[in-house]
Amino acid sequence: MNQTTSRLALLMQLLGVTGRELGIALHVDHSLVSKWKNNHRPIPVRSGMLSRIADYLIMVDTKNGHQVIQSLLVPPDFGSDPLPVNDLHGLLTQWLRDPAQAGRQLPGNSEQYWLDRDHYVCPVEIFQGESGRRQAVLQIFQTLLR
């Protein structure tokens, strides 16, 4: 079973923001936020909702003093100086909107999110049952034989 997590869900988890909190801040139902998080519905770009989401997440990040968003979007070797809010907002909206352009790529076109120089998060595949075990072993052998 291959399950992907949306970028919004990853960022909300890193910032400790619940769907209910984001829904209240955006004046939408929390079930809509859940659909965005689980990739059941795309975030509307033209309505300005993406910009409002980015504004709220940047505000939470600034309030916590973590710089989670900058460490997620900017490579570790870029520098530790905080980016201006406008630049960070542009990077975040692009990252949330266009998964093909943002993030570093691992083999197999799976994305890798850098949290700091030595720590990153990447998607995994979960295999279940006997057929899943067989498929996992075959994939390991194929990787080893390359």
Q: Is residue 106 part of a domain?
A: yes
**pLDDT digit string, tens, across residues 15-38:** 999 999 999 999 999 999 999 998
131: containing domain: 7-145
Q: Give residue 125's pLDDT.
A: 75
Q: Is residue 2 part of a domain?
A: no
Residue at token pair 């998607």: 123
Q: Give residue 56's pLDDT.
A: 96
Q: Give residue 80's pLDDT.
A: 67
Q: Is residue 89 part of a domain?
A: yes
Q: Is the per-residue pLDDT at 39 higher than 70?
A: yes
Q: Is the per-residue pLDDT at 115 higher than 70?
A: no
Distance CA 96, CA 115 (A): 16
Does residue 36 contact residue 6 with C-beta atoms inside 8 Å?
Answer: yes
Q: Give residue 146's pLDDT.
A: 77
Q: Is residue 68 part of a domain?
A: yes
Distance CA 24, CA 135 (A): 43
Per mean pLDDT, which of 19-33, 59-73, 89-103 is the most reliable? 19-33
Q: Is the per-residue pLDDT at 65 higher than 60?
A: yes
User: How many domains does the chain divide into?
Assistant: 1
Strand extents, DSSP E, the chain: 104-105, 111-116, 119-121
Q: Give residue 59's pLDDT.
A: 95
Q: Which residues is 113 bridged to in the sheet? A: 121
Q: Is the per-residue pLDDT at 109 higher than 80?
A: no
